[in-house]
Amino acid sequence: MSTVIDVSELGKQYRVYRKHEGLRSAITHLFRREYTTVDAVKSISFKIDEGEIVGFLGPNGAGKTTTLKLLSGLIYPTSGQATVLGHVPWKRENAYRRRFSLVMGQKNQLWWDLPAQESFRLHQAIYKIPADEFERRVDELTDLLEVRKLIGQPVRELSLGERMRMELIASLLHNPRVLFLDEPTIGLDVVSQKRVQDFLKYYQQQQKITVVLTSHYMKDVESLCKRVIIIDEGIIHHDGSLTNLIDRFSRFKVIALQFREGIVPDDLSRYGEQLASDFGTAKLKVEREKVSEILASILERYKVDDITVHDRPLEDVFAELFSAQRSQKVAG
């Protein structure tokens, strides 16, 4: 499979203007400004093949969006190189711009007061999409996302979820080979999130496009991405499959227990942290390597109706991972 995105030692520094609190400093800063340099991305490298869906994960300000902005040519890097589909993104060539799309969850490209179909027509003209192909794609995409009836309604009257789906259609009309999604499900309810996820999954498999996605919702990542890149403070901490990631970073598992008498014993905490207990059920957070040992011991001691072992939610894994890194840094 061919490499579509090739990033090597890419770095981006921002110069930010620092202002101290208060009026006095506001006045002195009129004449002399203090700047500090912030490394948004520090020398990252990775390759993405055609047809992959890769999730970019990291806390706020980790450098995820900066990376997407670099790859879509919005900003220039301070160091390093990158090519997407053989183009250097920040040259901003039309040949490249016709072949990718960037969707930002918080920004909209649709005309607020006009029906979405007018924005689609405008996209058709901007991207020079042939009329028959345009009609076919609008039909197909509006069916898939179940918004066909809404394309004649002014965008401002649509719900957030419907609007996001229209945004996705607008960004896919020109059949981009690479799709960058920055928080595509931000602010959406569970049903809309699911619908967008299902759509992206289906569409990606059909069209074999390459997708890079950032999200705070682990559900997005779990349902869509086989490969994840963890980035924090501008550095890649992990690049590999999601399962590997959990194996590598999740030191704990969760055991859920259902006790026969409906009474939770009060000495469970010796096995691990008790996460919840209610009406005869309890959840325990235990170290991975001790799971079998603890299970054996529990089954021996108590009467248990049901027992399940699962990984902790990804959110918790990441929260732990990032806070561990931060505290290490502070300590070091």
Partner 1 sequence: MARPPAQSETAVRRSWFNEGCDYCVSSAHTSWVIFKTCVEERLVYRGDFFFSTFIRFLPIITQIFLWHKVYAIGTSDQIGSLNGYSYEDMVAYYLLAMVARAFSSMPGLASGIGNDIRDGSIKKYVIQPIDLLGYLFWHRVAHKLVYYLIATIPFAVVFYVCRSFFPHPPTAEVWLAFGLSLVLGFLVGFLLEALIGLIGFWFLEVSSLLFIYMMFNYFLSGHMIPLDWLPNSLFAWIEYLPFKYLAYFPAAIFLGKIPPENLWMEIGVECAWVGVLLIANRVVLQRGLRRYGAFGG
Of 154 and 265, which CB lies nearer to partner 1 in the complex structure? 154
Cβ proximity to partner 1: between 75 and 242 the closer is 75
- Counting contacts by CB under 8 A, is residue 214 touching partner 1? no
- Binds partner 1 by CB under 8 A, chosen from 121, 194, 238, 290: 121
The reply to whether 124 sits near partner 1 by the rule CB under 8 A is yes
- Binding residues with partner 1: total (CB under 8 A): 32
Secondary structure of the chain in HEC code, one letter for each residue = CCEEEEEEEEEEEEEEEECCCCHHHHHHHHHCCEEEEEEEEEEEEEEEECCCEEEEECCCCCCHHHHHHHHCCCCCCCEEEEEECCECHHHCCHHHHCCEEEEECCCCCCCCCCEHHHHHHHHHHHCCCCHHHHHHHHHHHHHHCCCHHHCCCEHHHCCHHHHHHHHHHHHHCCCCCEEEEECCCCCCCHHHHHHHHHHHHHHHHHHCCEEEEECCCHHHHHHHCCEEEEEECCEEEEEEEHHHHHHHHCCEEEEEEEECCCCCCCCHHHCCEEEEEECCEEEEEEEHHHHHHHHHHHHHHCCEEEEEEEECCHHHHHHHHHHHHHHHHHHC
Question: What region, left, alpha or beta, does residue 38 occupy, with left being phi > 0 and alpha being psi -120 to 50 degrees?
Answer: beta
Of 59, 127, 218, 325, the one binding partner 1 (CB under 8 A) is 127
Contacts with partner 1 in 136-165 (CB under 8 A)? 154
92 versus 288: smaller Cβ distance to partner 1: 92
Site string for partner 1, 48-87 (x = CB under 8 A): ------------------x--x--xxxxx-----------
Q: Is 125 in the site for partner 1 (CB under 8 A)?
A: yes
**Nearer residue to partner 1 within complex by CB, 69 or 237:** 69
CA 284 to chain centre: 29
Nearer of residues 119 and 192 to partner 1, judged by Cβ:
119
Residue 279 contacts partner 1 per CB under 8 A: no
Question: Is residue 122 close enough to count as binding partner 1 by CB under 8 A?
Answer: yes
224 counts as binding partner 1 under rule CB under 8 A: no
Are 134 and 95 within 8 A, CB to CB?
no
Show the tokens assigned to 159: 């719900």
CB of 73 to partner 1, least distance (A): 7
Any contact of residue 177 with partner 1 (CB under 8 A)?
A: no
Residue among 6, 39, 50, 118 that touches partner 1 (CB under 8 A)? 118
- Shortest reach from residue 101's CB to partner 1, in Å: 8
Contact 72, 267 (CB under 8 A): no
Contacting range for partner 1; rule: CB under 8 A; set: 113-121, 160-168, 233-241, 258-266: 113-121
- Candidates 26, 126, 263, 324; binder of partner 1 (CB under 8 A) is 126
Q: Does 280 bind partner 1 (CB under 8 A)?
A: no
Of 169 and 294, nearer to partner 1 (C-beta) is 169
- Residues in touch with partner 1 (CB under 8 A): 14-15, 66, 69, 72-76, 90, 92, 94, 97-98, 101-102, 104, 107, 109, 111, 113-114, 118-119, 121-122, 124-128, 154
